[in-house]
Structure 1
Amino acid sequence: MSAPTSPADLYRHSLRLLLDKNIPGWVGLWAEDGVMEFPFAPDGWPRRLEGKEAVAAYMRHYPDHIDLQGFPALLIHQTTDPETIVVEMRGVGRLTRTDSPFDMTYIAVVTVRDGRITSYRDYWNPLALEPGTDFAGSGR
């Protein structure tokens, strides 16, 4: 399969990779100098990851903590910048440690240049996780 060309297609492809628990494939969509930000991250959690390697380290154990099973609501909005999209989505699955439901609403602002993610601002709600949840390299 050839690489998706539009930011929306690349993003949809990234979600399929997450559902397949293909973290190396997901990280492969990133530019070497890509930046991932979490503006609402609580104290002790990373707020900014700089570079593909930092993103890879953060996401490496994601499937060990969250078993994503679907994205039942996905809206992708084009912006005046053809390389930037705004995504509204809901991710559902299970928290692996407790086998309790995972149901998270996200808003993301994603920029793609030359077919790679260069910026990803993830506006998720950390208050929706159970206390003590260990999440994807957060050290929690």
Structure 2
Amino acid sequence: MPTPAEVFEQFRQAGERNDVEGFLDLLADDVLMEWMYPIPGFPGQMRGREQLRGFYGRQSARVGSHRSTYRDVVLHESTDPEVVIAEYVRDMTAVDTGETVTKPCVAVLRVRDSKILNFRDYVQF
């Protein structure tokens, strides 16, 4: 069974491939996804894989409009064996212009039985 750190690595790989289905497959049925800072066009939180599937389906043009690279990843294990804290830099390059926006990120993931139960995203747009 993958560790929380290994599940984060699977998330990173899905993000770099723009693989929304691969990302959704990592989520528990009742996942709680939280964006801790307001992101235009995103709610503050969503619950459930199917709600996220619908949301990302409606955002497919936005998702496909850029390519992401995750770099400088530092993982911090917690005293809670289900929790991993990830610090990383995300470079998002627009497909049509080649312009890159760089965002420092922190994510806190709670993983149980190889599925993300809670994904708390601290990124500012």
- TM-score band by shorter chain is 0.7 to 0.9
Q: In structure 1, what is the equivalent of residue 63 of structure 2?
A: 63
Name structure 1 gaps, 5 residues minimum: 127-140
The RMSD of aligned alpha carbons is 1.8
Name structure 2 gaps, 5 residues minimum: none
- Describe how 1:47-62 pairs up with structure 2 within 5 A: 47-60=44-57, 61=60
What is the TM-score with the length of structure 1 in the denominator?
Answer: 0.78
- Describe how 1:5-44 pairs up with structure 2 within 5 A: 5-42=2-39
Aligned residues: 122
Q: Which has the higher contact order (CA 8 A, sep 6+)?
A: 2
Is 1:101 matched with 2:100? yes
What is the TM-score with the length of structure 2 in the denominator?
Answer: 0.87
Once residues 32 and 9 of structure 2 are traced to their aligned partners in structure 1, the CA distance between those partners, rounded to angstroms, is 19
Is residue 86–residue 108 contact of structure 1 (8 Å, CA) maintained in 2? yes
Is residue 66–residue 102 contact of structure 1 (8 Å, CA) maintained in 2? no
Q: Percent identity?
A: 23
Once residues 36 and 96 of structure 2 are traced to their aligned partners in structure 1, the CA distance between those partners, rounded to angstroms, is 26
Is residue 109–residue 119 contact of structure 2 (8 Å, CA) maintained in 1? yes
Which shifted more, 34-43 or 76-85? 34-43
Is residue 106–residue 123 contact of structure 1 (8 Å, CA) maintained in 2? yes
